[in-house]
Amino acid sequence: MKIERIPALSDNYIFLMWDEQQKIAAVVDPAEAKPVLNKLREIGAELVTIFNTHHHRDHVGGNRRLMQDFPDLCVYGGEKDKGRIPGQQVYLTEGDTVEFAGRQATVYFIPGHTYGHIAYYFPPAVEGETGELFCGDTIFAGGCGRLFEGTPAQMVDSIGKLRQLPDNTRIWCAHEYTLNNLKFAITVDKDNPVLQTRLKSVKHDRDRNIPTVPSLLGIEKQTNPFLRWDAPALQAVAGIAEPARVFGKIRGMKDLF
């Protein structure tokens, strides 16, 4: 299973998984159809599946057009997004599994950014390789999504589930927000040497228009303040120790950054 990162809109990423032998593909969160169709023509693959993480327009905007071009494809999304994802046919809940190209993914219910948000985790196909996490707008490289429909407690619970995955998990998050996220992170975790090094590296990459997605979960655990609500440095900044309140305080600071 190969994964292609497709830029879309102003700062979105669409992810195309494809099986080179079977010439079939699945797309995660198609913000728009045109770049997906262009990539499918380039690789000579037929689209068979859409995996949506949540209902926002910049994640489902291409669904209808892709369904027109590939009328037999299947559209997946969360059970609580029923009626909000165009063309949705399968309604997924926590612990469900989906398959593509001989790989099986576990579905995680991760409300917070929206109340129906889900993620898809494909474990490594071979021991020692990376797992693949498609988490929409829940975890970003260096950050997390805004709480549009959920609470800090929900988001801590949701990210907590994902934080338990192996460090060698690639995080395919849906936006190129990394540099701005890390510029904020250093303001609340200024003495973190791993974060300092990462910020310099990301500045270097973005100056050269090099994408920063995917990230690795192990790096996020060390540098992303929204996975570090139990770190003393973040608790000190928040002035509290209770996880949801630490998270909420830091998220509120980021909203004003």
Residues within the annotated binding site for Zn(2+)? 54, 56, 58-59, 113, 137, 175
**Residue 89, H or E segment:** none
> Is 59 part of the annotated catalytic residue set?
yes
> Is 113 part of the annotated catalytic residue set?
yes
Instruction: For strands 103-109 and 118-122, give the pairing.
Output: antiparallel
Q: In what order do the strands lie in the sheet with 169-172?
A: 97-100, 103-109, 118-122, 131-134, 169-172, 215-216
> Is 58 part of the annotated catalytic residue set?
yes
Among 29, 81, 96, 113, which one carries the catalytic annotation? 113
Dist. CA 161–CA 136, nearest whole Å: 15
Among 29, 81, 137, 189, which one carries the catalytic annotation? 137
Contacts (Cβ under 8 Å, ≥6 apart) of 8: 14, 30, 31, 32, 35
> Is 137 part of the annotated catalytic residue set?
yes
Contacts (Cβ under 8 Å, ≥6 apart) of 179: 202, 203, 206, 212
> Is 175 part of the annotated catalytic residue set?
yes
Among 58, 81, 96, 189, which one carries the catalytic annotation? 58
Sequence ranges of the binding site = 54, 56, 58-59, 113, 137, 175
Closest alpha carbon to 149 in 62, 238, 56, 228: 56
Are 109 and 101 within 8 A, CB to CB? no
Among 29, 56, 81, 96, which one carries the catalytic annotation? 56
Dist. CA 54–CA 57, nearest whole Å: 9
Residues taking part in catalysis: 54, 56, 58-59, 113, 137, 175
